[in-house]
Structure 1
Amino acid sequence: MEHITSTPTVKAPAERFTGDVYLNQIEAPADPARLAAALVRFTPGARTHWHSHAKGQTLYITDGVGLVGTRDGTVVRASAGQTVKCPAGEEHWHGATDTTLMAHVAMLVGDENGDGTTWLEPVTGEQYAKALAAVAG
């Protein structure tokens, strides 16, 4: 058994996120399980860049309200206690709404090269505004 009493909070890198995002790593992918998990906190308007995961990703919302969007324009609005699963290879992004922070536990299974994430370009302001409009009401 290993008891980890705390992990440092770090600011997420600007080359993968837009806005202020903070991470606490819970687990890094290592054999045999290769689980990667992190608590990720997004300030209003903050979001990931487009990305995909070799083996998919599960997001468990712990606080606030967030959005998860896919390339085909599908947008899910998720709040605390809800889970969103992104299948392997699906290009997507996630983040807070424009008025509410959002925190989630991001979980994935890594591969032999690390966490299996492919990072892509930023979500544009226009794409983000369109996602907000799609879930308004």
Structure 2
Amino acid sequence: MDIKACGSVPTRRAPEEWFTGTVWQDPIIQAPAPARLISVVVHFEPGARTAWHTHPLGQTLYVVSGSGLAQVWGEQIREIRTGDVVWIPPGEKHWHGAGPENSMSHIAMQEAADGSAADWMEKVSDAQYSGAERAEKS
């Protein structure tokens, strides 16, 4: 058994190449093999969001505070709120983040396959984020 004391793992700024806006991450766990679980609390300031990405084994989001947005490639933007649970199937191209006027925090849970839990792609444009330009399936 390994117990990490509260505050023993520092908060980190999310990598700019994978996020737009100010995003903070509080790691929860990166379980050692043979387990594959990776989990982190992600705090998005208003307007902040992930880039488009997929997960080889899927992802679960649990919204712990605020309200935000999520979108699957080729579909409409959907609102997510405190208490919502979002399941993203393996390989589904998507993004998620805060709404334009409110912050949002969620717990992200995913498993790594061959050492990778996500495949990061292009950033979500401002037009895509606002819904003015729909992300089309290709």
Question: Taking structure 2 as the reference length, what is the TM-score of the superposition?
Answer: 0.90
Report SS of the residue matched to 1:38.
strand
Structure 1 gaps of 5+ residues are 132-137
| CA shift for structure 1 position 61 | 0.1
Deviation at 1:31, TM superposition (A): 1.1
CA contact (8 A) 1:65 1:97 kept: yes
Looking at structure 1, the residues matched to 108 and 41 of structure 2 have their Cα atoms a distance apart, in angstroms, of: 6
Structure with the largest fraction of helix: 1
Q: Which residue of 2 aligns with 1:84?
A: 86
Provide the rounded CA distance (Å) in 1 between the counterparts of 2:10 and 2:66. Answer: 22
Whether the 8 Å CA contact 2:14–2:25 is kept in 1: the answer is yes
Instruction: Provide Cα deviations, 1:26-63, integer angstroms capped at 9, x if missing partner.
Output: 11153122100000000000000000000000000000
Q: CA deviation at 1:73?
A: 2.2
- How many residues align structurally? 130
Answering whether residue 43 of structure 2 is matched by residue 41 of structure 1, we say yes
SS in 2 for 1:123: coil
Q: Residue 21 of structure 2 contacts residue 47 of structure 2 at CA under 8 Å; is this kept in 1?
A: yes
2:3 aligns with 3
How far off is 1:113 after superposition? 2.2
Alignment check: 8 A CA contact 2:68 2:97 kept: yes
1:97 pairs with one of 80, 96, 99: 99
Give yes or no for contact 2:60–2:108 (8 Å, CA) kept in 1.
yes
Percentage of identical aligned residues: 41
Conserved in 1, the CA contact under 8 Å of 2:70 and 2:78? yes
Letter in 2 for 1:16: W
Please list every run of at least 4 consecutive aligned residues from structure 1 whose deviation after the TM superposition is greater than 3 angstroms: none
